[in-house]
Amino acid sequence: MSAAPRLAIYPGSFDPVTHGHLDILQRALGVFERVVIAVADNVRKGGLFDRAERVALLRQVVGTEPRVEVDAFDGLLVDYARQRGAQTIVRGLRAVADFEYEFQLALMNRRLEPQLDTIFLMTDQSNFYVSSSLVKEVARLGGDVGAFVPEPIHRALVAKLAPAARQPHAPLKRSPTVASSPSTRRRLPARREPQARRRAAGEGSSEAERTGCHRRRANAGSGRAADLSTPLQRTTTVPMRTRLAPSLGPLRTFRRCSPSQKPPQIA
């Protein structure tokens, strides 16, 4: 790869460009004779400005600086650097959390192009917490981001997000609940009433169930506890008629007998 004299590539999405980006650019100009700001699309992030808008905004911010060029590219960064004849990539770091991801990118670029090196530059301490994603989030929520971006970028953010801010918010929809409907509350006792009448009349239950139910009601009304010492006597054998569990045998029901009666022996 033929290298241009002291040429470096400063890639990024710059959506939008912040004071942290410009601080890295100034530090790179102290090391290299020329710096190309290469604008690309970040597939992992949602874009606010399209690539043409970002290139135009960067050119407004950079102005007529002869040592800086703003360009856009598609594809791999190593292919673009080879096309421009550059052997150095400049990347900015804000904190230790940025280094792990940037280190992986640098190793991958070197694996794809062994002659391509990456230089990491630390931004000023005042920009450690400033990022394009955070600036967009604050701006979308109506916050003032004028202290984090250049004035042309601030005006572009306000113009871009103003139509969305003027749209009225739709009211929250409340999900219907059973307790909030008077008609539903009036219908609930009517649903339980047929079942209560059937229980009182003894419908849908066997003689043993009705006897046990009446006995429990009598004990509850008299305040006496149920006599658990009364043995159980087998009275009825009902064959199990189901194909799901034919091996379970007959279904047996039991009722309580008086203490004077002896329970029969179960064979």
- Which active-site residues does the annotation give? 21, 45, 94, 132
Burial class (CB in 10 A: 0-12, 13-18, 19+), 82: middle
Tokens of 257: 């007998």
Rounded CA separation 60/20 (Å): 17
Rounded CA separation 25/32 (Å): 10
Give me the DSSP letters along 102-159.
Answer: HHHHHHHHHHH-TT-EEEEEEPPGGGTT--HHHHHHHHHTT---TTTS-HHHHHHHHH
List Cβ neighbours of 152 (8 Å cut-off, separation of 6 or more).
57, 60, 61
